Amino acid sequence: MNKAFEKVIIVTGGAGFIGSHVVRYLLKKYSTYQIINIDKLTYAGNLENLKDVSDHENYKFEKIDIVDAEALRAVFKKYEVTDVIHLAAESHVDRSIEGPMEFVLTNVVGTVNLLQVAKDFWAGGENHVFHHVSTDEVFGSLGTEGLFTEETSYDPRSPYSASKASSDHFARAFFHTYNFPIKMSNCSNNYGSHHFPEKLIPLMIHNIQNNKSLPVYGKGDNIRDWLWVEDHATAIDAIFHRGRIGESYNVGGLNEWTNIKLVKFLCQLMDNKLNRISGSSEKLISFVGDRAGHDKRYAIDASKLERELGWKPSITFEEGLEKTVDWYLENQDWVEKVTSGEYQKYYQKMYTER
């Protein structure tokens, strides 16, 4: 084992939205850990997200596709990896509808590769953790009442959620078959800084600022539970360190909002921030044809996480949204870089030629 560090943790998808927050959080909190970020740097993963910690002495980056089992083995051997926090995934529902195979490869095959490589390297050893991070979308769609619990039956409705459900099942299978040290979590919709602008909240912020149309699916009455990404990072920390092996924990923001209510609230916030006449941005809202198989409502019961580990959201949705809006308005250079594709060309070239 690498004697220089108490733990050597791989964070997969560490250049992505949630992953970059987890990497940053761990580096700042645990000086005795080495954090290995592995990411294949797709359109939604970029190292601009981690510029502030890229020179940290305990941080390493490896450009790897988790579908490549040999590359994973090489990294486990190189760094003597002790633990994994697995976040890497293709995650955009619309893209999964257009082309599901990429989701099968990354989310299913990639996860099984990672599980198998970790199992082989940790054979006979103790004190390892493989934290598999998943989504509430595996549970399907709720009616007007009720919440998703850890015992809710799986009922995925999109190729994305089906691929994540499969990866969850493989993680559980490794625990039951091999006594592999799995911990799992299923989270609600995340929001916050560094979110790729194809997703609802950053897309609306960007479009409002630029006086572009605000497309809302159907009637805008689909309901989502929103979780501030920095709160999600603290939940992952709690589960990774103190959660029980073989257990699953739901992570939610206790924040149910219809899409149209959320967009209108963002319009009000942005009108205030941009010194516009109140109500002017709402005129940009445009209702468009609904997404195929659009789940009606998601809502998480996170009481197990609070009861066992003492975790609960730290801020309200309104507070988190204002922080998020402020970040995007103050970081226009980041938005321009990630939407132009310039960063992709730069980093792809850098890590291909080195």
Tokens of 281: 């941005």
Residues 19-57: tens digit of each pLDDT: 999 999 999 999 999 999 999 988 777 888 999 999 999
Q: Could you tell me where the DSSP H helices lie in the chain?
A: 17-29, 69-79, 93-98, 101-103, 110-121, 159-178, 200-209, 229-242, 259-273, 303-309, 317-330, 332-340, 342-353
Beta-bridged to residue 191, according to DSSP, are 228
Single-letter amino acid, residue 171:
A
Residue 352 has pLDDT above 50, yes or no: no
Mean pLDDT of all residues in 162-179: 97
- Looking at residue 351, what is its pLDDT? 37
What is the distance in angstroms between the CA of the first residue and the CA of the last residue of the chain?
27
pLDDT value for 334: 84
Q: Residue 170 is encoded by which pair of tokens?
A: 């493989």
Sequence-separated (6 or more) residues with CB below 8 Å from residue 227: 187, 188, 189, 190, 191, 251, 252, 253, 255, 300, 313
For the annotated catalytic residues, the residue numbers are 136-137, 160
C-beta of residue 191 within 8 angstroms of C-beta of residue 324: yes
Q: Taking the CB of residue 50, how many other CB atoms lie within 10 A of it?
A: 22
User: What pLDDT shows up at residue 142?
Assistant: 85
How many Cα neighbours within 13 Å face the side chain of 104?
6
> Quick one: pLDDT at residue 71?
98
SS3 at position 80: coil
Closest CA to 331 of 192, 193, 190: 193
Query: Chain-wide mean pLDDT for the chain?
Result: 91
The model's pLDDT over 246-266, given as tens digits with 9 standing for 90+, comes to 999 999 988 889 999 999 999
Q: Please give the domain boundaries of the chain with CATH numbers for all domains.
A: 7-194+229-253+298-316 (3.40.50.720)
Cβ atoms of 158 and 97 closer than 8 Å: yes
Distance CA 41, CA 170 (A): 25
